[in-house]
């Protein structure tokens, strides 16, 4: 019954979206560009006819899958050097009906920061020039601009503190702060300190009215929403103030690969119990590939202290002194990210360019009950198929799991044993069809063994297979968005939609998986006269969605 009703709803929605006004026409594109040039220096604006348009666009495309001739490209790229340029772009966009997409590090797995799936006229606000990091060592805080990479943040923090401070965000240095922080952001410190958004204490946002708002001015709900609900739905986050965390000057790290012939299935099965229950100072993730499970660790202490913990808690791994290496926390980031077993100089944290050799597709899951041993054996069978992919499993427990689900939009907390990241990659230039099919088939196979109702997914591991927005009238549909929204945000989806309704009720900041606005009916001064939309309202009142319009 519920399913039937849902199908009917989708049908209605699709009829309605047929009538949706297109956001802009070529006439308004000219006016838009004219408007931009009145407030932004021309050297910061790149139109499709500028000689450097292609290289500026490509500079932060991380996944060449979205750098093909068929990819929908922006009308122009604006590279602000101060806040007023971002504000002007939004104001011109509102005035002339051109949407913006915002790019920080360009690591979005579906490329949504710089491409549109459907043909659409949009401008790209690229924050590559807004990337300063200001560390306040005495207060153990920092202001970091969205266009910085996490590597630049880590470098500045480690230099300013003499290796005594760190920040709990993602592992690989080229990830952009803007998209990463606004989607949650976890790395090897997650068991000790939780995730990036647990440590954000202020932010600066340009909203859909072009206003520049700090934490106080944006209001409690919007400040809550941008800490894990995705920045793209709420505006342009220019800067973040974060609390830094203490680390010992030397930490220990190990990488222990175990082959299937040497018992990887058993060790991995055991890890599911051990990994999430270890002392918070110890984090061990596993990279699972064809024939191998590689155990990678960060320990906030010395090798001398780590060895007895490993012998006591996880002897099955056979980790010994020769696997253990001591280094600064900043060095450990590169050591584990690169995974070559060789030390890497910390200045490599500042590398911004990445290789463009491979395209990829990812998906994610959360596991709340250990997966049986025989299923792991079958999973290794999947990983041995042609077009083999990889799985990375990150243990939770500790600080990440101690935070109640509603404190930030990131809801994957208490009771989660671990996160699964699935990836398959292929040489750029190939179409990747078998690889994408592999990941979809494996995802289907995994359904019985992972979280259910909803099947949770990590927003920063963006996956358009989970669903896409449908525009009803002028705004993305709350009901349609629930399908993917509750996977990413569980019970926080509705609160995110209400926050969106407060700051951007007309849904100016929109993409294929942005949060739809939910506006209480009592606040709609001017209900839409269009009969198609009136039908929609009555359909949803029957479903008791008192807020939906
Ligand atoms: C190699 C690699 C390693 C990764 N490792 C980790 C990891 O260890 N831990 C983890 O949690 N995740 C990881 N991720 C996922 C990563 O967190 C997300 O892809 C994240 O969104 C990237 O941020 P970005 O700024 O680089 O992306 P972008 O592509 O620039 O942006 C991603 C999304 O955020 C929006 N956005 C970007 N900047 C802003 C802004 N300033 N204001 C408002 N909206 C904005 C964009 O419009 C887009 O929708 C990894 C991804 C890759 C490719
Ligand atoms: C931002 O840049 C513009 C030039 O485009 C300049 O006029 C303005 O003073 C700058 N604003 C700030 C706050 O630096
Ligand atoms: C440590 O373990 C490895 C196998 O992983 C083994 O080859 C090596 O001899 C061991 N070293 C010591 C000191 O026990
Ligand atoms: C950083 O860049 C240098 C020079 O291009 C390269 O040799 C090195 O491998 C890069 N390091 C990382 C960690 O990507
Ligand atoms: C829909 O969008 C158009 C153009 O932006 C605007 O004029 C109109 O007021 C919007 N309608 C609603 C209900 O927001």
What average pLDDT does range 408-432 have in this prediction?
97
Q: What domains appear along the chain, each with residue ranges and CATH number?
A: 3-9+462-502+511-546 (3.30.465.10), 133-246 (3.30.465.10), 251-327+355-456 (3.40.462.20)
HSE (side-chain half, CA atoms, 13 Å) at 452: 6
Average pLDDT, the chain: 92
d(CA 411, CA 489): 6
Position 516 pLDDT exceeds 60: yes
Ligand nearest to the CA of 501: 5
Report which ligand 4 atom has the smallest distance to the Cα of 349: 13
Ligand nearest to the CA of 353: 4
What average pLDDT does range 167-174 have in this prediction?
97
The pair of structure tokens assigned to 196 is: 């990036």
Q: What is the pLDDT of residue 201?
A: 98
pLDDT tens for 32-49 read 999 999 999 999 999 999
Residue 87 has φ and ψ, to the nearest 5°, of -60, -45
Q: From ligand 5's centre to the CA of 145, what distance in Å? A: 33
Q: From ligand 2's centre to the CA of 81, what distance in Å? A: 8
Confidence of residue 21 (pLDDT cuts 50, 70, 90): very low
Question: CB of 344 closer than 6 A to ligand 4?
Answer: yes
What average pLDDT does range 383-391 have in this prediction?
94
Position 190 pLDDT exceeds 80: yes
Q: From ligand 2's centre to the CA of 29, what distance in Å? A: 24
Q: From ligand 4's centre to the CA of 314, what distance in Å? A: 34
Question: CB of 350 closer than 6 A to ligand 4?
Answer: no
Report which ligand 4 atom has the smallest distance to the Cα of 173: 13
Position 242 pLDDT exceeds 60: yes
Q: From ligand 1's centre to the CA of 396, what distance in Å? A: 21
d(CA 144, CA 150): 9
Report which ligand 2 atom has the smallest distance to the Cα of 82: 1
Q: What is the pLDDT of residue 354?
A: 81
Q: Which of 454, 461, 519, 505 is nearest to 484 (CA)?
A: 454
Q: Which of 191-195, 386-390, 444-448 shows the lowest per-residue confidence on average (mean pLDDT)?
A: 386-390
Residue 410 has φ and ψ, to the nearest 5°, of -70, 110
Angle at 361 between CA 360 and CA 366, to 5 degrees: 135
Which residue puts its alpha carbon closest to atom 36 of ligand 1?
179
End-to-end CA distance of the chain: 23
Residue 482 has φ and ψ, to the nearest 5°, of -55, -35
Q: What is the pLDDT of residue 419?
A: 98
Q: From ligand 5's centre to the CA of 71, what distance in Å? A: 28
What average pLDDT does range 410-436 have in this prediction?
97
Residue 347 has φ and ψ, to the nearest 5°, of -60, -20
Q: Which of 205, 191, 212 is nearest to 145 (CA)?
A: 205
Confirm if 99 and 90 have CB atoms less than 8 A apart: no
Q: What is the pLDDT of residue 521?
A: 74
Q: What is the pLDDT of residue 452?
A: 98
Confirm if 225 and 409 have CB atoms less than 8 A apart: yes
Position 549 pLDDT exceeds 50: no
Between residues 446 and 548, the one the model is more confident about: 446
Confirm if 397 and 419 have CB atoms less than 8 A apart: no
Confidence of residue 25 (pLDDT cuts 50, 70, 90): low
pLDDT tens for 330-368 read 999 999 999 999 999 999 999 998 888 999 999 999 999
d(CA 271, CA 265): 10
Q: What is the pLDDT of residue 526?
A: 56
Q: From ligand 5's centre to the CA of 21, what distance in Å? A: 9
Position 518 pLDDT exceeds 80: yes
d(CA 283, CA 292): 19
Strand 122-126 relative to strand 245-246: parallel, antiparallel, unpaired? unpaired
Confidence of residue 525 (pLDDT cuts 50, 70, 90): low
Percent of the chain's residues with pLDDT above 90: 87
- The residue to mutate among 179, 358, 363, having the most atoms of ligand 1 within 8 angstroms of its beta carbon, is 179
Q: Which of 109-118, 352-361, 419-428, 443-452 shows the lowest per-residue confidence on average (mean pLDDT)?
A: 352-361
d(CA 342, CA 405): 39
Residue 5 has φ and ψ, to the nearest 5°, of -60, -35
- The residue to mutate among 74, 116, 144, 175, having the most atoms of ligand 1 within 8 angstroms of its beta carbon, is 175
Q: What is the pLDDT of residue 353?
A: 87
Ligand nearest to the CA of 507: 5
């Amino acid at each position: 019954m519920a399913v039937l009703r849902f199908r009917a709803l989708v049908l209605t929605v699709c009829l309605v979206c047929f009538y949706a006004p297109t956001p802009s026409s070529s006439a308004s594109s000219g006016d838009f560009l004219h408007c931009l040039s009145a407030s932004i220096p021309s050297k910061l604006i790149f139109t499709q006819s500028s000689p450097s348009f292609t290289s500026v666009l490509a500079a932060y495309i991380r996944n060449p899958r979205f750098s093909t001739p068929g990819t929908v490209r922006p009308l122009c790229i604006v590279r602000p050097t101060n806040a007023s340029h971002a504000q002007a772009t939004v104001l011109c966009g509102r005035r002339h009906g051109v949407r913006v997409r915002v790019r920080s590090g360009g690591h979005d797995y579906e490329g949504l920061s710089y491409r549109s799936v459907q043909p659409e006229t949009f401008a790209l606000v690229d924050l590559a020039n807004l990337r300063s990091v200001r560390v306040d060592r005495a207060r153990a805080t920092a202001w970091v601009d969205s266009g910085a990479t996490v590597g630049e943040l880590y470098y500045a923090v480690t230099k300013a503190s003499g290796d005594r401070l760190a920040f709990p965000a993602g592992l690989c240095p080229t990830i952009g702060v803007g998209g990463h922080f606004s989607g949650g952001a976890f790395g090897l410190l997650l068991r000790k300190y939780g995730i990036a958004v647990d440590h954000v204490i202020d932010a600066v946002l340009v909203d859909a009215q072009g206003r520049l708002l700090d934490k106080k001015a944006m209001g409690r709900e919007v400040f809550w929403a941008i800490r894990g609900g995705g920045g793209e739905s709420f505006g342009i986050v220019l800067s973040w103030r974060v609390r830094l965390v203490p680390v010992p000057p030397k930490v220990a790290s190990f990488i222990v690969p175990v082959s299937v012939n040497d018992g990887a299935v058993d060790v991995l099965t055991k890890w599911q119990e051990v990994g999430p229950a270890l002392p918070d100072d110890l984090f061990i993730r596993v990279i699972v590939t064809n024939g191998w499970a590689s155990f990678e660790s960060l320990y906030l202490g010395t090798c001398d202290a780590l060895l007895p913990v490993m012998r006591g808690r996880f002897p099955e791994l056979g980790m010994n002194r020769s696997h253990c290496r001591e280094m600064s926390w900043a060095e450990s980031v590169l050591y584990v990210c690169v995974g070559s077993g060789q030390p890497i100089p910390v200045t490599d944290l500042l590398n911004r360019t990445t290789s463009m050799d491979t395209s990829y597709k990812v998906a994610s899951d959360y596991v709340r009950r250990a997966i049986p041993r025989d299923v792991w054996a079958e999973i290794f069978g999947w990983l041995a198929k042609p077009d083999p992919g990889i799985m990375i499993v990150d243990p939770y427990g500790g600080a990440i799991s101690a935070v109640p689900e509603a404190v930030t939009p990131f809801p994957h907390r208490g009771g989660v044993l671990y996160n699964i990241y699935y990836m398959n990659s292929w040489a750029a230039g190939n179409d990747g069809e078998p690889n994408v099919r592999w990941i979809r088939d494996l995802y289907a196979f995994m359904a019985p063994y992972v979280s259910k109702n909803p099947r949770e997914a990590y927003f920063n591991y963006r996956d358009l297979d989970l669903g896409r927005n449908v525009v009803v009238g002028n705004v993305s549909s709350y009901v349609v968005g629930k399908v993917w929204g509750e996977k990413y945000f569980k019970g926080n989806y509705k609160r995110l939609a209400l926050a969106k309704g407060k700051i951007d009720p007309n849904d100016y900041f929109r993409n294929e998986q942005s949060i739809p606005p939910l506006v209480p009916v009592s606040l709609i001064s001017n209900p839409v006269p269009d009969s198609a939309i009136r039908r929609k309202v009555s359909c949803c009142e029957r479903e008791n969605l008192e807020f939906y319009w």
